[in-house]
Structure formats: structure tokens, C-alpha cells
Amino acid sequence: MLSDDLKDEIQVAYTRLLSEKGYRARHCQRLMIADIARTIGNVETNDEGERLEGPNICVVEAGTGTGKTIAYAIAALPIAKALGKRLVISTATIALQEQIVNLDLPDIRKHAGLDFSFVLAKGRRRYLCLSRLDLALQEMGSLNQTMALYDDERFEPEESHRVLYQNMMESLGRGEWDGDRDNWQVEIDNPAWLRVSTDHVQCTGKRCSHYENCFFYRARERVHKVDCIVTNHDLVLADIMMGGGAVLPAPEDTIYIFDEGHHLPEKAGNHFSNFLALHSCQGWLSQIPASLIQMTAEMQQVGILPGGQGQFEEAVNDAIAGIDQMSSLVEPLTEDARHDEDGWQFRFPMGVVTEDIRQFSDDLLRSFTRLFNLIERLVVTLEERLGDTNENDDERCEYWLPVISAMAARVKAGAKLWSVYQQEDDPERPPNARWITFREASSQNGIEILFSACPISVSDALAELLWSRTFAAVITSATLSMGGDFTRFREQVGISADNLFDALPSPFRFHEQAVLTVPPMSTDPREANDHTEEIWQLLPDILKDEAGSLVLFTSWRQMLAVIDGIDPQFAEIVLSQGTLPKAEIVSQHKQRIDQGNASCIFGLASFAEGIDLPGNYCSHVVLTKIPFSVPDDPVGATLSEWIESEGRNSFQEIMIPDAARRMVQACGRLLRTETDIGRITILDRRLVTQRYGAQLLDALPPFRRELGNG
């Protein structure tokens, strides 16, 4: 049970913070603190401090103005310290991550009287690898060529890269740089950085001669010594997929705070997906024998190859031949494929592949598995040799071990893809989406064939890898429910219904601060061209009196068409996504308004969240239409098919809740403070002409309404 001492510590910290900062208490913030404290403070444990069975997750929907960071930090930090657990605060965006690390946590520590340490945790790729920097500077001829083992990783080294690497080494020697990419004085382009960084597959860990000075491992040591770790959803998910505790503390010893939690399902889906480009795969497979010959020549011990060179060549040839057969088998599917801007896409209904494709996938799985086993044995051999030989051999092993490990990782990923294609999904569980994309290739092959697979639900995986193991967790965002109903989100992330779900009241006076308008329109968004034309005719008049406005589109096609068709005089005040970086668009928008000029941002989904335009910077938000999911998305389409096959209604269960969440997120761009006022206009008459329109409107905050077409 939550002790009285902890309750007092939380209350005193909150009161002190409010007093020193001159804030007034917010009812919603108090409720959020109470929800979190009760949930994580009342987790039942055994004598060793391990969690017993029972609810341990708190899902809190809290809108802009709640002060979510203060609420979860004030509630969770004292409890985590008392329990001997680490607090991991995870976000979806860099902007929020930086705000928490640079502003919020220092402010809370200073003014709330809480004693805690914190650090920002980043993935291995954000840090310089000293071993790879050495190789880059040595320009070792053959070794340099082999490091870029595959064509899709090759790039011609530029003189600027050599200068950059030398400057890096000198800055390190003077103690002016800590090896963190984000702390280098200028932006580093990706090809140059990839050459001198590494991932967990290619990292040799304690076997590396630079281990004692490794920037990543130094940073990881700090992670395990502090009370609070700030990171991102991708790193949390990558860590649990490696078993947990690889980079971050083990889930059993962790209390997670997932801010911007509505991104979790999509982020998890990306981590559990598989893909393989056939012709590209044949290219890097064909390079394996030559690389192994070069390795054995430089290591001066041909016998290092388990089974000899012949077995490797035979396994590689089998895999390449199998891909040839698979390519021939699926090429006729282009006749039934749907064409889009990326090429031609063929999706298998319900994710069920044909029997011949499944059989060929089984053959390819055996070929890739055989090759992986051979390469994995070679990795083990190199690991055993490293440190057991003389200095020159150590240097060669230290170089070749990450190269062969990367080779093994690619083959393993291919085997995983073929495993998903050869297996039959459990009819009692959601299936995998499976689809093939045909693209024009720049090489002589002509067409690249990309096999993809992704689970349509990550709930089981998250439940097994994360929720069943974590000591406790808090998930928060402004958009987790549909009008207080968390069913859709709960099913997406695999959290049981016996946990706490709470939609908090907003501090805003929506009815007083904003008006929601659905103007009379002659066109329906399903009449795409006519609707687009009506938008460009209406926008100048709708926004004529606004200093700052934001127009949100659901597709590039419509946004570009409106830009082409709109009145040229109005077009002069428009800043559109795609013309400049997002941050620069926001900066120029604010500058225009500060100078007394009007400005309007045209953007897509990325502008519907994560940007802050208070006051006159945005007094009018326009949604061009209801943001329903794209119906041809292969994962979404397969999910809809599966739900319909269960006798349920996918439109009601998926399309409407997801659209409602996106609309709430978009409307949230208008009111950023308790003094903001403005208007939201939605150019979609379906909100008042279709039965589901009332559901969507009811999910939005209670703005004053002016509804046309009724």
C-alpha cells in the first residue's frame, strides 16, 4: 500500500513547486497525480520487491494544459526511489524528449525539493565507434572495401569525410567532444556518420580494444546509476526485443512512463515487421563467398571456416537459386497488383499466401537457416579467437567479427521473413498481413520485388514482452480514447481491462474559447476532384480575417491540388509542408505574425501534433476532411478483413475510433493556453449528413458548434 510518508512527500513536493513557480493547482493535474500514485504505489510485491500478480498499469488521457510531465514526475519519482526501481520516461518525439531533459526535470528538481538524478538514453547508433573511426582514418585498402560489404551500404568516401574524421579525432583528444552525434558542432550527413558508428549486431562489446573508452558503454553505465532515464519508444521496444536490460534497466526493475502513448501501437508494429527485397538480397548473398575468401587470406588460416569454403558457397547458391524461383513464381501477380506512387502492390487477402508460395518459402527458410548456422558458427569461432592470439591476429579478428556478425544478421532477417511466409497463422488469433511490392529498380534487374509481413495486432507481443514483465507502467496522451471509451487502444496495446483507465477533464473552457464550424458545402469528400475545387474556393474567405491559421490535409495529392488552384494572392501567405523543414516552417510562420503579417501553414498528419502555436500564431484550424485511415494500407486492410470475418464491424471498431483520435489531435492545435480563443472549421459535410458523424462530433471537445448541411 502507498505509505503515508510517500503521500506526504508527493503532496509537499507538488505544493512547493506550485508555490515557487507561482502556478495555481489544476484539478485535472491533481487527479492525474492521484491516479498514478495509487496505481504504482499499490503494486503488491514479495519480500524481494518483485511484483506479484495484479493491476499495475495506469492509462490516463489528459489534454493540453494539464501539465502531464509535472504530474507523472511528482507522483512517480518518490515512489520509484522508495521501491528501488528505475523510472523510464519514454516519448515519441525528439521535441518532447528535449523539453523533458532540458527544461521540465531540472525545473522540478529545483523547485519541488525532490532529490533525483536523470539522464538521456540514446541508441548505440547515436554514438561514435572508436574502432570504426580508426579504420576510417587508416584507409586500409582491402578492409575499407569490405566494411561496406553490401552494395546498398557502399558510398564513395569524400575528402570532406576524411577531414571530418580527423577533426573528430582531434576534438576527442582535446576533450572537446563526447562522441555523441547530437553534440557535434555541425550536422553530420548520414553516409559519413554510418561509417563511424555501429549497431548491437556489429559491436564486439568487451572484446573491443576500445571498450574501456567506448562512448556508448560509458553512457550506458550512467543509465544504470541514475534514478530517472529519459528515452524514446523505439529504444524501449528495441531493448525488450533483445530480451530487456540490454541497454535500459530490466523491465522487472522499471516503472515506465509512456508519454505520447498513442504512438505505441504503430511503433511496435514497425519493430515486429519483416521485409526482404529479392534482387538486392541476391546481390549481397553473392558477395559472401568472396568476402570469406578475403577474410581467410588475411587471417592466414583457411581452416577457420567451419566445414570449409565449399559448404558456404553451396548454401549461398541454394539461397540465390531459390530466390530466382520465387521471383518467377510471383511476377505474374503484377497483373492483379494495385498501382500507387511506390510501384505495384499485391496484398494477400487475410494474409493467406498461395500453397506454392508457402512451399517455396519453406524451401527458402531451410536454405537461409542452413547458411545462417554456418555463419553463426564462424561468428563463434572469431569470438573465441579474439583475445587468444597475438596482437596482429586480434586486430584482424576485431575487424572481421562485426563484418561477419552483420552478415549473419542479414541472413537471419531473411530467414525470419520466409518463416512468416511459410507458416499458417493460428485461426483463433489475428493473422499477419503479407504483401508484395513491385518497384522499378535502377539496376539491370529492372524490377525489384519486396516481400513484406507485419502482424495486424501487436497486443500479444507487447503483453508478453513488456506488460507481463514491467513492475509498473503509466501511459498518457491527449488522445487515447474515443469520448472516454478506451476499448480500441486497450486492444491495440494488449492491456487487460482490470487496469486503471481514466479520461481527465480539461482545464480549458472549450465552449467559451472556441467555435467548431461545419459550413454548408455542395460537395462530398468522396467526390475527390469536386471537393478539392470547393476547398480552394472557400479557404480565402474562411481565413481572410486570421493572422495565423493552420490547414490540415489527409493527402499530398489534395494539398498540392489546392495549392495549384487557390487564389494567387492568398497563396502568397501560405507555407506548405515539403517546401522547408517542419521547424523552419513554424519559425517563418511566427516571424511573419510577429511582424504584423498574415500567415497560413498547409500541412499533413505530422502538423496535426507536436507543434505549438499559441495565441495569434494559430487562431483558426481547418480540417479539409475526416482523417479516415487509407483503405489500401495492407496492414489496416487485413485487419479490417479479419474483423469482418469474425462477424464484427471494422468501420465501427477501427475506422471511426482512429479517425476520432486524429481529429482530437488536430483540433488540439488550436487551444494551447487557457487564454487562447479561435475557431475550428471542418470541410466535410459527412459530419452532419452521415450517422457516424454524430459519433465523431461527440468525441471532440465541447466547442460551441455551428453546423451546416443539417
In tens, the pLDDT along 625-648 reads 999 987 778 999 999 999 999 999
- The model's confidence at residue 511, banded by pLDDT at 50, 70 and 90, is very high
Residue 276 has pLDDT above 90, yes or no: yes
3-state helix, strand, coil in the chain (%, to 5): 55, 15, 30
pLDDT at 209: 84
Domain residues for 117?
A: 4-123+220-268+459-503
Flag whether 214 is in a domain: no
The helix (run of H) or strand (run of E) holding residue 61 is strand 57-61
Asked if residue 234 and residue 110 are part of one domain, the reply reads: yes
Determine what percent of the chain is predicted with pLDDT higher than 90: 75
- The model's confidence at residue 386, banded by pLDDT at 50, 70 and 90, is confident
Flag whether 215 is in a domain: no
Tell me how far apart the alpha carbons of residues 325 and 145 are, in angstroms, rounded to a whole number: 31
- The model's confidence at residue 381, banded by pLDDT at 50, 70 and 90, is confident
* pLDDT per position as a tens digit, 454-478: 999 999 999 999 999 999 999 999 9
Query: Which one-letter DSSP state was computed for residue 454?
Result: E
Q: Helix 355-385 vs helix 391-422: angle between axes, to the nearest 10 degrees? A: 160
Flag whether 379 is in a domain: yes
- The model's confidence at residue 55, banded by pLDDT at 50, 70 and 90, is confident
Residue 389 has pLDDT above 80, yes or no: no
Asked if residue 673 and residue 537 are part of one domain, the reply reads: yes
Tell me how far apart the alpha carbons of residues 25 and 507 are, in angstroms, rounded to a whole number: 11
Residue 347 has pLDDT above 90, yes or no: yes
Asked if residue 638 and residue 554 are part of one domain, the reply reads: yes
Asked if residue 471 and residue 558 are part of one domain, the reply reads: no
When pLDDT is averaged across residues 526-538 and rounded to a whole number, the result is 96
pLDDT at 294: 87
Q: Which residues contact 435 (CB under 8 A, 6 or more apart)?
A: 345, 346, 347, 348, 452, 453, 634
Lowest mean pLDDT among 230-234, 441-445, 482-486: 441-445
Asked if residue 186 and residue 40 are part of one domain, the reply reads: no
- The model's confidence at residue 494, banded by pLDDT at 50, 70 and 90, is very high
Tell me how far apart the alpha carbons of residues 219 and 231 are, in angstroms, rounded to a whole number: 13
Asked if residue 644 and residue 529 are part of one domain, the reply reads: yes
Asked if residue 99 and residue 174 are part of one domain, the reply reads: no
Which domain-ending residue is among 470, 503, 536? 503
Asked if residue 591 and residue 691 are part of one domain, the reply reads: yes
- The model's confidence at residue 702, banded by pLDDT at 50, 70 and 90, is very high
* pLDDT per position as a tens digit, 668-700: 999 999 999 999 999 999 999 999 999 999 999
* pLDDT per position as a tens digit, 404-428: 999 999 999 999 999 999 999 999 8
- The model's confidence at residue 147, banded by pLDDT at 50, 70 and 90, is very low
Q: Which of 235, 239, 227, 233 is nearest to 469 (CA)?
A: 239
Q: Which residues contact 158 (CB under 8 A, 6 or more apart)?
A: 192
Tell me how far apart the alpha carbons of residues 558 and 576 are, in angstroms, rounded to a whole number: 12
* pLDDT per position as a tens digit, 195-219: 899 988 888 888 888 889 999 999 8
Residue 300 has pLDDT above 90, yes or no: no
Number of structural domains (the chain) is 4
DSSP-derived 3-state class of residue 159: helix
What is the 3 state secondary structure string of 486-555?
A: CHHHHHHHCCCCCCEEEECCCCCCHHHHEEEEECCCCCCCCCHHHHHHHHHHHHHHHCCCCCEEEEECCC
Q: Beginning with the edge strand found earlier in the chain, give each strand of the sheet holding 472-477 in spatial order.
A: 118-120, 228-232, 86-91, 254-258, 472-477, 57-61, 500-503
Asked if residue 109 and residue 11 are part of one domain, the reply reads: yes
Determine what percent of the chain is predicted with pLDDT higher than 70: 94
Asked if residue 98 and residue 190 are part of one domain, the reply reads: no
Count of positions (residues) in the chain: 710
pLDDT at 298: 80
Flag whether 697 is in a domain: yes
Which domain-ending residue is among 176, 209, 242? 209
Burial label, 392 (beta-carbon count in 10 A; 0-12, 13-18, 19+): exposed
Measured in degrees and rounded to the nearest 5, phi and psi for residue 586 equal -65, -40
Asked if residue 612 and residue 472 are part of one domain, the reply reads: no
* pLDDT per position as a tens digit, 97-107: 989 999 999 99
Asked if residue 438 and residue 292 are part of one domain, the reply reads: yes
Q: What CATH number is associated with residue 615?
A: 3.40.50.300
Tell me how far apart the alpha carbons of residues 270 and 267 are, in angstroms, rounded to a whole number: 5
pLDDT at 308: 77
pLDDT at 299: 77
Q: Helix 391-422 vs helix 288-299: angle between axes, to the nearest 10 degrees? A: 160
When pLDDT is averaged across residues 288-300 and rounded to a whole number, the result is 86
Lowest mean pLDDT among 11-15, 175-179, 254-258, 347-351: 175-179
Flag whether 229 is in a domain: yes
Q: Which of 472, 490, 471 is nearest to 482 (CA)?
A: 490
pLDDT at 710: 52
Flag whether 673 is in a domain: yes
pLDDT at 387: 64
Residue 140 has pLDDT above 50, yes or no: no
pLDDT at 149: 47
- The model's confidence at residue 142, banded by pLDDT at 50, 70 and 90, is very low
List Cα–Cα distances, 633 to 347, 434, 630, 640, in angstroms: 9, 11, 6, 10
Residue 395 has pLDDT above 80, yes or no: no
Flag whether 348 is in a domain: yes
